[in-house]
Amino acid sequence: MSAQTDTPGSVTTVYKVTGMSCGHCEGSVSGEISQIPGVSSVKAVASAGEVTVVSQAPLDDEAVRAAVDEAGFELAGKA
């Protein structure tokens, strides 16, 4: 449940998201999260119910929750 540092200056965090079932869902969630300042990449996998986010610094969980909510899904926490 903790963030991992992959490269200097970047943090990778995996979030659990409920309700995603297809590629369109993945795109919606990825699109919303990618708008959070500091996010450099987002990969959503509907079959696993996970979203992997690489950012310049740890993200505010409420900002991620708001982005996931805006996409129409629910953030279940960190994986």
pLDDT of the residue at 5: 47
Number of domains the chain is built from? 1
User: What CATH number is associated with residue 74?
Assistant: 3.30.70.100
Tell me the residue range of the domain where 51 lies.
11-78
C-alpha to C-alpha distance for 59 and 40, rounded to whole angstroms: 12
For residue 5, being part of any structural domain is answered with no
C-alpha to C-alpha distance for 54 and 34, rounded to whole angstroms: 10
For residue 51, being part of any structural domain is answered with yes
H helix runs in 1-79, sequence order:
23-33, 61-70
pLDDT of the residue at 1: 39
Q: Order of strands across the sheet with 39-45?
A: 39-45, 50-55, 11-18, 74-78
pLDDT of the residue at 9: 76
Q: What is the pLDDT along the chain (79 residues), one digit of tens a residue?
A: 345 545 567 999 999 999 999 999 999 999 999 999 999 999 999 999 999 999 999 999 999 999 999 999 999 999 9
